[in-house]
Structure 1
């Protein structure tokens, strides 16, 4: 998949919205930012490997997941266009990862290595503000996800996921969605069927009320 530069977000633009970037910062970023295209199902990271790069998604959709001893996959996070992505623990501590990061559909990613990112922190004061803001955003989203999974019922969790990723039904499998929600695929299918029936009944009720109102007005 080719990246459309006119439509896809660019990391330099995103960072510039957080704080003004010096000309030297922008020049260094342009020189060191690596842009690569990855095919569907490509695995960026596996358990035991150390995350060497932090990625910005210009185009595409990815997930983080783990596999237990029984071979069951559990999706812990989805990543979409305009988001930063890495295995936080592995990348910042340079320790082995415990999860996979997989490309779900053809993606265009920009990335920086761990060493180059740290050179930005050392050489450019604005990097520290940018890094702090981005980490705050990450941990806020992570906390919201944990609260959603702990407090919300399955329907609310599904609706929250659709609110966050409106096109997710076209971007990944029902199995991945179900594992993220903590449900079996069969339970997710039944729940979606109930939601569709409820929506149809609601639409039918609205049509009936509108027709009744028209008759009263005649």
Structure 2
């Protein structure tokens, strides 16, 4: 069983725990975001964990006025900067809403309380961080050792819906290539 399946199983079991449901409901809230909004100002600390219910967000770094896309977040994905959340430092990464979105959000202080109180929440947190580390390792490997065509093919294999929902300029940036190179690869 992989991390996603373990997390899904834990989540389903957790939903049966009425004390956990009540505690989570007391802390979490839903919020709608419009296309073009940012979850927080660049250079500020990440104080909330967002869970994408519907919509798309992209993570990016801003360097010398240029945006470099680092990630895309779709339905069911958590959206936050791990370093900023765990260390309380300003985040390098900023998140922009690419299509109107609804998210559930909970402060990291409240999430920490839930992790302390409910072992299943702590286990979900650890499995999620482990899954993120694996994703990050795969992404780093791909950027270092795959050529542009291989990176594009891998992206389409893992996330076939991305082409219909995300602008090609953002995809090119995510792949570390120019929009022109992406057009040649697609042609």
Same fold (TM over 0.5): yes
Pair 1:40-2:32 in alignment? no
Q: Which of the residues 152, 155, 159 maps onto 2:153?
A: 159
Q: Residue by residue, what CA displacement relative to the aligned partner does 1:18-58 show, whole Å, maximum 9, x if unpaired? A: 26323211121123221111110111133321111011111
Q: Could you list the structure 1 runs, at least 4 aligned residues long, displaced by more than 3 angstroms after superposition.
A: none
Structure 2: any 5+ residue segments left out of the alignment?
A: 1-5
Pick closer, same or farther for the CA change 1:16–1:29 going to 2, 3 Å. farther
Which range moved further: 92-101 or 19-28? 19-28
User: Where do 1:1-218 residues align within 5 Å?
Assistant: 17-18=9-10, 20-21=13-14, 22-69=17-64, 71-193=65-187
Q: Secondary structure at the residue paired with 2:150? A: helix
Q: Residue by residue, what CA displacement relative to the aligned partner does 1:121-142 show, whole Å, maximum 9, x if unpaired? A: 2222222211111111111111
Contact 1:46 1:97 in 2 (8 A): no
Tell me, in whole angstroms, the C-alpha distance in 1 between the residues paired with 2:184 and 2:158. 22
TM-score of the superposition, structure 1-length normalised? 0.77
RMSD across aligned C-alpha pairs, in angstroms? 1.6
Q: Secondary structure at the residue paired with 1:142? A: helix
TM-score of the superposition, structure 2-length normalised? 0.89
What is the aligned length?
Answer: 179
Contact 1:46 1:101 in 2 (8 A): no
Q: CA deviation at 1:170?
A: 2.3
Q: CA deviation at 1:62?
A: 0.8
Structure 1: any 5+ residue segments left out of the alignment?
A: 1-13, 194-218
Contact 1:46 1:99 in 2 (8 A): no
Tell me, in whole angstroms, the C-alpha distance in 2 between the residues paired with 1:67 and 1:126. 36
Q: Which has the higher contact order (CA 8 A, sep 6+)?
A: 2
